[in-house]
Amino acid sequence: MYFLITIRPFEFDDSRAVLDMEEAIFNEPNPLLYAMIESRPAEGFIVAEEDGEVCGYLLGTLLMDEARILLIAVKDSRRRMGIGSRLVNEYIESVKGRASMIRLEVRSSNLAAQTFYFKLGFRFIGMVSNYYRNGDNAYIMVRPMENFTLFL
């Protein structure tokens, strides 16, 4: 079957869909997401839409020359169809020329996401112990942009 997916900026009307998806996937409300929605960021917040329905989202920030992916998720039923990659690639394009790298944290137990990021050019640069509320560690991954060389 063929699915037509559009990647576009987040709009305030997407809030309910994004919050519902976040809670369904991560099993708890995310205060950061509420705060970001309230602040109505002008950029860095994008969604994937299929037939008028939000099926994925990515929230990123840019501070000085460091971009960060804070949140990304794709609806269960729409995974492994390239939607997550399209969201990340769209974000990479949007910070090109302004960011020297994109950084993110990923739960050490989240092998699926680590594989996903690795395929998109992110590399492991370190680990933060007890990063998550339940004590899980976070791996830090970085994707260098064109003017940045990783000494790894």
Ligand X SMILES: CC(C)(COP(=O)(O)OP(=O)(O)OC[C@H]1O[C@@H](n2cnc3c(N)ncnc32)[C@H](O)[C@@H]1OP(=O)(O)O)[C@@H](O)C(=O)NCCC(=O)NCCS
Distances (CA, A) of 68 to 17, 101, 132, 149: 23, 8, 17, 17
* Shortest CB 41 distance to ligand X, Å: 19
Q: Is 127 in the site for ligand X (CB under 6 A)?
A: no
Interacting residue with ligand X among 1, 80, 146, 152 (CB under 6 A): 80
For 6, the token pair is: 């559009």
Q: Which part of the chain contacts ligand X (CB under 6 A), choosing from 1-9, 28-36, 67-75, 89-97? A: 67-75
Interacting residue with ligand X among 24, 32, 112, 127 (CB under 6 A): 112
Interacting residue with ligand X among 62, 81, 125, 140 (CB under 6 A): 81
Angle between helices 31-39 and 15-26 (to 10 degrees): 170
Distances (CA, A) of 46 to 4, 73, 124: 16, 11, 25
Q: Is 30 in the site for ligand X (CB under 6 A)?
A: no
Q: Total binding residues for ligand X by CB under 6 A?
A: 18
CA nearest 54: which of 91, 1, 18, 11?
Answer: 18
Please report, as ranges, the residues that interact with ligand X according to CB under 6 A: 25, 72-74, 79-85, 106, 110, 112-113, 115-116, 119
